Amino acid sequence: METLRALAEPHRFQIVDLLLEGPRPVGDMVTQLGLRQPQVSKHLRVLSDAGLVDVRVDAQRRIYALRPMRFQELEVWLEKYRRLWEGNFQRLDALLDEMKTDEKKHGRTKR
């Protein structure tokens, strides 16, 4: 998922977390994050290509803001994993275990 690749970079992760507080021009992020301007612009480019942010032009400044969709998609994907901690999972573990020991004890028990 391209979303993950974009978010995996620590600085981009920071940028996104910053933008959660609201839309911001590039310069703001530069000072807040202590990065160099070109680097921030590049990261924003990646985030933009990944559909995580969009830009609004305001004179010389570009105001970047988060775009919900990709985050929403991420949550949808993650929902599949919720059953991991909502019990009744990993029961298959024991199941596979039985199948294996069965084979060992009586050889090919199935079919």
Q: Contact residues for a copy of itself (CB under 8 A)?
A: 1, 4-5, 7-8, 13, 20-23, 56, 58, 63, 65-66, 68-69, 71-72, 74-75, 78, 80-82, 84-85, 90, 92-93, 95-97, 100
Q: Does residue 45 touch DNA according to CB under 7 A?
A: yes
What's the CA gap between 71 and 73, in Å, rounded? 5
CB neighbour list of residue 9: distance below 8 Å, 6 or more residues apart: 43, 46
CB of 74 vs a copy of itself, minimal distance in Å: 6
Which residues partner with 64 through β-bridges?
Answer: 24, 55
C-beta of 34 vs 92, nearer to a copy of itself = 92
Strands 24-25 and 53-58: unpaired
